[in-house]
Amino acid sequence: MNRPILRLAIPNIISNITVPLVGMVDLAILGHLESELYIGAIALGGMIFNFIYAVFSFLRMGTSGFTAQAFGEENKTECILMLGRSMLLGIVGGFILILLQTPVDLFSFWILRGSEDVEALAREYFHIRIFAAPASLGIMAFSGWFIGMQNARIPMYVAIIVNVVNVALSWFFVYELGMKSDGVAWGTVIAQYTGLAAGTWYFFKNYKNQLSYWITGQFFNFEILKRFFRVNSDIIIRTLCLIFAFAFFTAESARIDNTMLAVNTVLLQYLFLFSYITDGFAHAAEALVGKYTGGKNIPMLKKTVRYLFLWGLALSLPFTLIYILAGEHLLYLMTNNPTVIGASGPYLFWVGLVPLISFAAFIWDGVYIGATASAAMRNTLLISTFAVFLPAYYLTKPWLDNHSLWFAMMLFMMARGVLLTLYAGKSIFSIVQRD
């Protein structure tokens, strides 16, 4: 069981790690220019796209779950049709975003207020990078499909290609052509279309024979489409709850003061780093759980979930030790500001709790996506956000101050893991047995 898990998890971990790395490189490229305005511009513009693509993340998650189940059923027609549906939705969605870029601009910069100079540069960055939307969403659809087909290597190759091209072109445009944040935006656009082309090439190289199973008459199967959109709407609600929780955390940090905003932003990177690693196993869960759910193989489904949690626990223990013993030293990798480093000290013990408290939620997410048990995921996030996270913060804020944010975040992560565990019997195992 360990071999198929690692065969899927390791490439996914590599793919996940490339995401924050390329952002760091982009910031480093602009950070060495003569003004900090360019960093602010890419930070604001990048935040808009983080939100947009988080909302559209159902393209990857929903596609992987449905494709994995069709793979487990050995339904080759449904496998290829799922790719077609997801690609159509992604490409059309991307062009709609391009058409609606002005209202998206007005709404986004009404919420994300910056100085006049930063907003001007951020708007320029946004209106260039938005042209990458069809390619970015197409890559999400491809990635979900390849994972569902039990192939995590191709998404890894595509992610590496996208990030290498992005970094190379951003550096060339900025330092050789004298462009600024607009150069980074054009580098991202070209890199995304390069990634879409690479995904297409890998598809025809490895899966061209799948096209022979295409049946146009089944493409708009009402029952399948109804379930597809129902599951994806649940995933969108679940994702919006996650976005709200972290946006609220950041907004409340800013309300305290600029130092606490910087402290909490830096310390959140500990959580994000652990999530990037653990999500490699969550993506493996999507593929394997989907396959065994589709194949109605209850013994292998239960065995897979058990092994995935053992891997999650095995990852959380060393991360916990590293965060507790070396947490302060890790701060210097992210900032050399003595004020931020000094103010972070009282809150470091919270990040030491992150791995043990959060790994169950991350692993369960992959399991539920593979089983397309989206209603339980949606309900869990709604409860965790509005019945746990917000009350925990407001009830403890008067005497815990910034600690109340971290206390609420820890309860939020714990509630997700506990609730998903409680829902599992009814939402995953019993349903598969009945089917």
**What are 194-241's pLDDT values in tens digits?**
999 999 999 999 999 999 999 998 998 888 889 989 999 999 999 999
| Conformational region of residue 214, where left means phi above 0, alpha means psi within -120 to 50, and beta covers everything else | beta
Q: Residue range 405-419: average pLDDT?
A: 97
pLDDT for 4 equals 86
Kindly tell me if the per-residue pLDDT of 159 is higher than 90: yes
Measured CA distances, 431 to 361, 371, 423 (Å): 21, 10, 11
Kindly tell me if the per-residue pLDDT of 434 is higher than 60: no
Share of the chain above pLDDT 70, in %: 92
Q: Residue range 408-413: average pLDDT?
A: 97
Point out the least confidently predicted range of 105-114, 182-191, 362-371: 105-114
pTM value surpassing 0.75 = yes
pLDDT tier for residue 320 given thresholds of 50, 70 and 90? very high
Contact by Cβ (8 Å): 137, 90: yes
pLDDT for 269 equals 82
What's the distance, CA 408 to chain centroid?
A: 21
Share of the chain above pLDDT 90, in %: 60
Return mean pLDDT, the chain.
89
What separation, in Å, do the N-terminal and C-terminal C-alpha atoms of the chain show? 24
pLDDT tier for residue 24 given thresholds of 50, 70 and 90? low
Residue 384: CA count within 13 A, CB half-sphere: 30
Contact by Cβ (8 Å): 156, 14: yes
d(CA 9, CA 6): 5
pLDDT for 44 equals 74
Kindly tell me if the per-residue pLDDT of 432 is higher than 70: no
